[in-house]
Amino acid sequence: AWTGEIRGRVVCDVCGDAAIGPEDHALEGAEVAVLCITKSGEVINYQAFTNSKGVYTVAETMPESDRWDSCLARPMSSFHLHCTRRGDAHSGVKFTYNKSSGNPHTVKPFLYKPATVPLYC
C-alpha cells in the first residue's frame, strides 16, 4: 500500500500585501478542495477544512498502482467574519505528486484578505 498526504495553510493576509507577516493570522474552518488524478487515470475529489492553526490535511492509503500522479489544490471559501476575499489571483495550485509513501507534499499558503484593510497597515 502507498500513503499520500497533502497539507497546507490558509492565512488571513490582514494588510492585503500578499506576504505573510506578524499581523496575519491563521484562518480556522476555511474550505479547501483537492482534486487528484491517479496513475491509473482515476479522478478523486477531496474536501478539507482548516484547523485552529489554519492547517488542512488530505491523506489516503491506496495501492501503489493507483497512487496520486498529479493534484490541484484550491481554496473554496473562508467563513471568517472579515477575511473573505481571495488574496491570490491564481487561486489553484497544480503539482505533480512525486513524494514517496508517507511523505507529505506541502502546498504554499492560500491567502484571504479583508474587504477593508485596517488603518495600521
Task: Specify the pLDDT at position 90.
Answer: 60
The model's pTM is: 0.91
CA–CA separation, 59 vs 56, rounded Å? 10
Q: Is 69 exposed, middle or buried (0-12, 13-18, 19+ CB in 10 A)?
A: middle
Q: What is the pLDDT of residues 27-81, one digit of tens each?
A: 999 999 999 999 999 999 999 999 999 999 999 999 999 999 999 999 999 988 8
CA–CA separation, 107 vs 121, rounded Å? 27
Question: Under CATH, what is the fold of the domain 2-114?
Answer: Immunoglobulin-like (2.60.40)
Asked whether the predicted pLDDT for residue 89 surpasses 70, the reply is no
What does the domain layout of the chain look like in residue ranges?
2-114
Asked whether the predicted pLDDT for residue 9 surpasses 90, the reply is yes
